[in-house]
Amino acid sequence: MSKLLLLNAAKLQLTLQRLACQLFETHTNNPNTVLIGLQPRGVFVANRLKKILQNDSSINVLVGALDVTFDRDDFRDHKKAQLVPSKTQINFPIQNKRVILVDDVLYTGRTIRAALSALSGFGRPQKVELLALIDRKYSRDLPIQPDFVGREVNTIQSQVIRVEWCEQGFEQDAIWLQH
């Protein structure tokens, strides 16, 4: 399997800073904005964005973590391995908040559909937006599009986007295209 480096650590950091600037510009006047990272890697993105917003703009945004394992429409199809859900941790009300769902890779849209379903158990947000670090264009099964995108990548079905985070034990952050 060959690998092509899409973003090294420096370019990934620059992409995150650009996304944080977009969030700042769009949500500066709305203190009711919260970030909810989708487990597992969307949480890393959300936490990095929170840190950038705090350091660069002195904005303290609330961050939560949402697991959608059992809200997916295909979770019963996973026969290879036992599914192990991650922890959902939303310690604040989302009622009438502007929720930004954060994920690392947007592919078919099914994870986002599941996230919207899971989110409904926590209240009714004023608005829900989507931030995707990588948008795999031309692969959607559902009509879901991100509001904020780090990078768009044209891929075919057989290719995989691999996001590596230091938080997961990798030596450095990187995003790879494998085929």
Q: Which domains are seen in the chain, by residue range?
A: 11-22+32-69+85-154 (3.40.50.2020)
Looking at residue 29, what DSSP letter applies? T
pLDDT tens for the chain, 179 residues long, are 799 999 999 999 999 999 999 999 988 767 799 999 999 899 999 999 999 999 988 888 999 999 998 776 665 555 555 666 778 999 999 999 999 999 999 999 999 999 999 999 999 999 999 999 999 988 889 999 999 999 999 998 899 999 999 999 999 999 999 98
- Residue 101: left (phi > 0), alpha (psi -120 to 50), or beta? beta
Question: Both tokens of residue 20?
Answer: 């944080």
The pLDDT of residue 147: 97
Helix (H) or strand (E) holding 11: helix 9-27
The pLDDT of residue 87: 87
The pTM of the whole model exceeds 0.75: yes
The residues near 28 (Cβ < 8 Å, ≥ 6 apart) are 59
Q: Select from 111, 109, 66 the least CA-distant residue to 90.
A: 66
Q: Residue 109, Cβ neighbours under 10 Å: how many?
A: 17
**Strand ranges inside 15-145, DSSP E:** 33-38, 62-66, 98-106, 127-137
The pLDDT of residue 109: 93
The pLDDT of residue 86: 78
Full DSSP string of 142-160? SS---SEEEEEEE--TT-E
